[in-house]
Amino acid sequence: MSHRHYDTLIIGSGPGGEGAAMKLAKAGRRVAVVEAFDQVGGGCTHWGTIPSKALRQAIQLLADYRRNPLFQRTVRQIHVDYPQLLAAAGSVIRDQVRTKYRYYDRNRVDVIHGRARFVDARTIEVSEAGGRVDRFTADAFVIATGSRPYHPPDIDFSHPRVLDSDSVLRLDHTPGSLTIYGAGVIGCEYASVFCNLDVKVNLVNTRDRLLAFLDDEITDALGYYLRTQGTVIRHQEEYERVEPLDNGVVLHCRSGKKFKTDYLLWANGRAGNSAALGLAALGIGTNSRGQIEVDGSYRTTLPEIYAVGDVAGPPGLASASYDQGRFVGTLISEGESDWKLIEDFPSGIYTSPEISSIGRTERELTDQQVPYEVGRAMFKNIARAQITGHTVGMLKLLFHRESLEILGIHCFGEQASEIVHIGQAIMTQTGGANSLLYFAETTFNYPTMAEAYRVAALNGLNRIF
């Protein structure tokens, strides 16, 4: 058993751990990252963001090709199955892993492969797959162990017909039909992926709307396009039991409805990876979903132990996890941080069409009695969208009708998650610089999708003057 001491030890090499490690290494601290998997990158790179987005990109390419009149004569010759698309995603994962090892190497961050567990508030034990156990000590720790799909105990996830967002990445053929239980971001994204592969998809939602945190007009559009692509959406359903069979699986709902398909993809909730860390003995609390209790600075009850990313609770985004890691890295190295984490972060949902939004929705502004107005640009009227053939979509700006301050940006359509950042940059300005007028009075490249901001701003101004 070896024993080494570090300034900070980070447990988990996803975006949360990587953000903390890089910040601390740049500050000259002696840092190591402990990773249970045999490659760095976290769930983000191997089972979450990267594979699902690479899959989606491959499928989008296929859908664009099928739709493009230039390729109509060859379209019948193209047969792409799910494993081929997964293989395309695999090459992105390899590139990401290589890049991340290089970052750790260049910044002299030690990577220790093994599963970490606290022995006391200053010591962890790391068990390697081969059985070797080492001890490491540090002055501070960052727990960034991420999350995994939540498994209700009454469902047999060892059955090959019952999948979750991890095991769906190991499916070795294109299924004929699929029921997705849970219509959150992951459920909607996979519904989009599979219906674009001509799989019959049932999307079973436990709520009364899709993605209720988004603007109603955007989720109405998502529902419409998912249906036109062949997805059957059922709202307000709750499972009673899951019956796996040799030739399929039946989802029995409390309402009496039954969905029999080749596979079930369970996409209803995630649980923090905290159980095996030995936290209870240290007095660090977790909730029923395994999420570690932290304060506003991501400190646990022990001041030298921090938790960031999915294991510290919502929002459960790679983007936010990375920033939380960097923020904590700053606190540990400098004792304080002169930058604050934004509370209003953008959401990107990689369905077809893509969705992105930031700020308040119409429902929120109405509830808060804010006098707002709406400016819209339909992609079908934007030259760049006509050129690329991606005419499905809309940019919607919500702004204060007196001050012209932008209050919310909601977009769906090709590149929505990029387009939203233009508005975000203006929306986060202070001292009167957050104004709809910026978009009405600024010259943008033409033709671009950014033009949608000018069109939406003029549309909005026309409503109030």
Ligand X SMILES: Cc1cc2nc3c(=O)[nH]c(=O)nc-3n(C[C@H](O)[C@H](O)[C@H](O)COP(=O)(O)OP(=O)(O)OC[C@H]3O[C@@H](n4cnc5c(N)ncnc54)[C@H](O)[C@@H]3O)c2cc1C
Query: Which residues contribute to the site for ligand X (CB under 6 A)?
Result: 11-17, 34-37, 42-44, 48-49, 52-53, 115-116, 144-147, 165, 186, 273, 276-277, 309-311, 316-319, 321, 348, 350
Q: What residues contact 155, with CB distance under 8 A and at least 6 apart?
A: 162, 242, 266
CA distances from 173 to 22, 59, 81, 194, 444 (A): 39, 15, 7, 12, 46
CA dihedral over 148, 152, 156, 159, signed as positive or negative: negative
Taking the least distance from each CB to ligand X, the nearer of 322 and 399 is 322
> Cβ 323 to ligand X, closest distance in Å?
11
Taking the least distance from each CB to ligand X, the nearer of 96 and 459 is 96
> Cβ 79 to ligand X, closest distance in Å?
26
> Cβ 126 to ligand X, closest distance in Å?
7
CA distance 277 to 255: 40
> Cβ 194 to ligand X, closest distance in Å?
13
> Cβ 328 to ligand X, closest distance in Å?
12
CA distance 24 to 331: 10
> Cβ 398 to ligand X, closest distance in Å?
23
CA distance 102 to 20: 16
Nearest CA to 141 out of 311, 290, 288, 367 is that of: 311
Taking the least distance from each CB to ligand X, the nearer of 102 and 463 is 102
Token output for 384: 């760049």
Centre a 10 Å sphere on the Cβ of residue 66 and count the other Cβ atoms it contains. Answer: 13
Taking the least distance from each CB to ligand X, the nearer of 140 and 374 is 140
With tokens 């007196």, the residue in question is 402
> Cβ 102 to ligand X, closest distance in Å?
18
> Torsion angle of alpha carbons 419, 186, 172, 97, nearest 10°?
60
CA gyration radius for the chain? 24
Taking the least distance from each CB to ligand X, the nearer of 358 and 455 is 358
> Cβ 421 to ligand X, closest distance in Å?
14
Q: Could you tell me if 436 and 404 are in contact, meaning their C-beta atoms sit under 8 angstroms apart?
A: yes
> Cβ 45 to ligand X, closest distance in Å?
7
Taking the least distance from each CB to ligand X, the nearer of 37 and 103 is 37
Token output for 326: 């960097």
Q: Exposed/middle/buried for 431, CB within 10 Å: 0-12, 13-18, 19+?
A: exposed
CA distances from 291 to 43, 258, 274 (A): 16, 33, 7
Taking the least distance from each CB to ligand X, the nearer of 107 and 319 is 319
Taking the least distance from each CB to ligand X, the nearer of 65 and 150 is 150
Taking the least distance from each CB to ligand X, the nearer of 43 and 423 is 43
